[in-house]
Amino acid sequence: MPILLRYLLILLLTVSSGSVLAQDNADATAAAATAALTPAQKLTQLRTQLDDIKAAVDTKKTDVPADLRNSALAVQQQADQLASTLSPQAASLQARLDVLGPAPVKGAPPEPPELSAQRKQLGKDLSDLGGQVKQANSLSTEAAQLAAHVADLRRDQLQTQLASRNATPFSGAFWTDAAKAFPDDMAHAGLLGKDALDAVRQAWQPPNRTPLVLCLIIAVLLVSVGRWLIERTLVWVSTAHMPEGPLRRSALAVAVTLAYTLAVGLAAHFVYLALNWNDLLSQDLDELAQKLVRVVTFTAFMAGLGRAMLSTKRPSWRLPALSDDAAQRLHPFPWLFGGAVLLENLVESVNNAIGASVAITVATRAFLAVLIGLLVGSALMRLGQSRRDALAAGETPAQRPVWVGLVIGAAFVGVAVVLLSVATGYIAFAFFVARQMLWVGVILTALYLLMYLVDDIFNAVFSPKGRTGMRMQASFGLKPLALEQTGTLLSGITRTMLLILAVAIVLAPFGAGPQELGGRVGGLLSGGSLGKLNIVPNDIFDAVLVFALGLIILRVIKRWLSEQLLPKTTLDLGMQNSVITLLGYVGGVLVFVLSLAALKVDLQGITWMASALSVGIGFGLQAIVQNFISGLILLAERPVKVGDWVSIGGVEGDIRKINVRATEIQMGDRSTMIVPNSQFITQNVRNVTLDNAKGRVSIKLSMPVDTDASKARELLLEVLSAHQGTLSMPAPSVQLENLDAGSMTFSCIAYVVSPRDVSNVKSDVLFEMLDRLRAAKMPMTSPQSMIVRNLPAVSENSDDRD
């Protein structure tokens, strides 16, 4: 097997390099021929092409091909490119003229003849270039108008076709007309087949036989071995380099889809190269062959996408909530739908190539519409039968999302419309609905896979526990919740953009090609306007990108200041927090302004917003603005700062954070009080720790009068000085404050570093004082008690005796 794969790779590289070199040579020749044309010749060539397109449109008003619109768009693109190339040259000439200055006025000294001749030549060249730029812009405008006109004609043509009614297949006229036209159409088809057979015979001739055999061998190997090899390689990359989880499952589904698309698409391309190695095919056959290659590639994409969604061999890889029985029942339908698409495009291409009659075209479209309708109906019936069997077996099927039920219901309606339209003679309408059902089905399935993939990618990248998420947290200081929210937001934005693109593609006109689909998507991305405000998705994306990058840069700068620069300065912690907070406000405003500039919003465009904001401030936002301004004053003047111990309006505690609107104060019980910033400006505030204030420990002790006051004072001073929390300057002091009713009162005062240490130091000193006083047998004065004594009564006779 390794030897076979090695030979396959060698053959693939050899033939591919030959075809690429041939194509590069052709492209280089065409590019050289185009580059050799002067701007005037190029404008003449574009004018001729545009006139030819106009003539073709006038000739085929009833059946305008889509290629004419694509040709007009190509002329518009070339004209725009030419104008963009000539404009800088004109600006350069104008700058040179400005350097020379204007010609001398009458009566002024004459200038040198060389300077006058140079100004004259520059003026002539500038005039010529200006005329060519105007002509290119005019061609671009005409081409755009012509493309829009062709689109309108095709839209009218489609409406006419959809409203037309033919004979029904149940009538004799339907089959009679087809039988009459069949011999002529078969003769034309025979001529086309003869041309194709002649091309094959010519490809088998000795000069072309070797490339033919090699390309066919490579095509067979790609379909048989190459698909398996590509799939295994992509699966290995997904399992080896991706973390376990939903991302690996969605990546494996994408790998399976790409494997089928690449293998079969490349095989079809090599078959085309085998038959047209030396440009053996005629122009009609070459166009037909190239279209068939695209159709085969699209068919392979459908088959690979369906196989990835069903995943019958690996149920754990299956993305949709389908049972194994339902997946097995739907297993053949991806290839059947792909075969229907291939057959439909092949029949339509052959009919167009041979100029088939209307009767044969109607008959083949009726057959194809019924075939597609029956295939879709059969798939829906099998899906429903699987669900009914699961219910009968007592199993609970997976709950369907609402949109899935709506899609299934719309598919049933589409099948009914197709069959009824064919039965009633509206063949064109039935064919249109049948094709749209397949087209919408492919777009919805691809959108489902891409949405899963996008969501899994962002969840994996922004997961707080993932490797990338941990690096983001370490680099930018993001919190896990903020990281998850960022991933969810980016996932939602990307999925919304995918949904918009899918809607634009689904609503494309009937039979639109890749270039027309690209034009519709480009038109969608060009945006629209809301009054004078332009809404352009590209500008919105740029603004979001500028806003996100600005916030990241601002966060990095704030983190660098808080962790690297400010700690090495003499600023205290509160001042450092104030600087960082102010920088955050100013930087946030600057990032917002830059985002508006990226959005290309001027002041006139947001005048209405400013007016509404001013009215809101005048009525309902006064308090918010007042608190915001007060917050800025607090950060600038710093009467209070983060870490201060304040008391305001009965609230006392430590300031933990000064926000835009309010300040957070942590109280003694660890609860947080939110105080509006304006109260710190309009009310009396007690700042206990302002200017690094020292704490004061004050203790009063009562002792009996007969206590040795000097010895007590010495003992108390020793306790105050010995504690490690008290300061030596100012020194502790003990004073005899009062003598009263047999007791004396000592006032003990000491200072500590911070008011926050007062309570702890006071408690330690009191414990130590009590122990030392007891040890020295110096009692404290106990609270006075009132003693009531009852005296005996005095008799009256005692007074008489006296």
pLDDT tens-digit profile of 619-640? Answer: 656 676 777 777 777 777 778 8
HSE of 535 in the Cβ direction (CA atoms, 13 Å)?
5
pLDDT digits (tens, 9 = 90+) for 462-496: 888 888 888 888 777 778 888 888 888 888 888 88
Q: What is the pLDDT at residue 367? A: 93
Tell me which residue of 520, 361, 342, 496 sits closest to 427, measured CA to CA. Answer: 361
Per-residue pLDDT at 766 exceeds 50: yes
Q: How would you class 472 by CB atoms within 10 Å of its CB: exposed for 0-12, middle for 13-18, buried for 19 or more?
A: buried
| Predicted confidence band of residue 78 (pLDDT cuts 50, 70, 90) | confident
Query: Which of 226-230, 411-415, 662-666 reaches the highest mean pLDDT?
Result: 411-415
Least confident of 225-239, 360-374, 407-421, 614-628: 614-628
pLDDT digits (tens, 9 = 90+) for 412-451: 999 999 999 999 988 888 998 999 899 899 999 999 999 9
Which two structure tokens, joined as six digits, stand for 317? 């890889």
Per-residue pLDDT at 151 exceeds 90: no
| Predicted confidence band of residue 615 (pLDDT cuts 50, 70, 90) | low
Quote helix, strand, coil % in the chain, to nearest 5: 70, 5, 20
Per-residue pLDDT at 668 exceeds 50: yes
Per-residue pLDDT at 787 exceeds 70: no
From residue 327, alpha-carbon distances to 162, 246, 382, 399, 661 in Å are 36, 20, 10, 16, 58
pLDDT digits (tens, 9 = 90+) for 18-30: 444 344 444 444 4
Tell me which residue of 783, 703, 701, 770 sits closest to 743, measured CA to CA. Answer: 703
Q: What is the pLDDT at residue 412? A: 93
pLDDT digits (tens, 9 = 90+) for 750-763: 999 888 888 889 99
In this structure, are residues 254 and 262 in contact, taking their beta carbons and an 8 Å threshold?
no
In this structure, are residues 373 and 415 in contact, taking their beta carbons and an 8 Å threshold?
yes
Q: What is the pLDDT at residue 411? A: 92
Average pLDDT over every residue of 327-354: 89
128-160: b or e for each residue (b if 16 or more CB lie within 10 Å)? ebeebbebbbebbebbbebbebbbebbeebeee
Instruction: Please report which residue ranges of 478-600 form alpha helices under DSSP H.
Output: 480-506, 514-526, 537-560, 573-598
| pLDDT cut 90: percent of the chain above it | 12
pLDDT digits (tens, 9 = 90+) for 366-387: 999 999 999 999 999 998 898 8
Residues 6+ apart with CB under 8 A from 150: 57, 64, 68, 69, 72
| Predicted confidence band of residue 1 (pLDDT cuts 50, 70, 90) | very low
Query: Which of 203-212, 569-578, 715-724 reaches the highest mean pLDDT?
Result: 715-724
Average pLDDT over every residue of 278-296: 85
Average pLDDT over every residue of 230-242: 76
Average pLDDT over every residue of 326-332: 90
**Summary mean pLDDT of the chain:** 79
Q: What is the SS3 assignment for 658?
A: strand
pLDDT digits (tens, 9 = 90+) for 168-208: 888 888 888 888 888 888 888 888 888 888 888 888 888 88
Residues 6+ apart with CB under 8 A from 519: 73
Q: What is the pLDDT at residue 124? A: 83
Question: In terms of pLDDT, which residue wins out, 715 or 688?
Answer: 715
In this structure, are residues 190 and 271 in contact, taking their beta carbons and an 8 Å threshold?
no
- Provide DSSP, 676-732: EHHHHHHS--EETTGGGPPEEEEEEEEEETTS-HHHHHHHHHHHHHHSTTB-SSSPP
Residues 6+ apart with CB under 8 A from 470: 464
Q: What is the pLDDT at residue 19? A: 43
Question: In terms of pLDDT, which residue wins out, 519 or 359?
Answer: 359
Q: What is the pLDDT at residue 91? A: 83
Q: What is the pLDDT at residue 676? A: 87
Average pLDDT over every residue of 52-74: 74
Q: What is the SS3 assignment for 652?
A: strand
Question: In terms of pLDDT, which residue wins out, 159 or 594?
Answer: 594
Average pLDDT over every residue of 294-308: 91
Can you tell me the distance from the alpha carbon of 757 to that of 764, in angstroms, rounded to the nearest whole number? Answer: 11
pLDDT digits (tens, 9 = 90+) for 204-225: 888 888 888 888 898 888 888 8
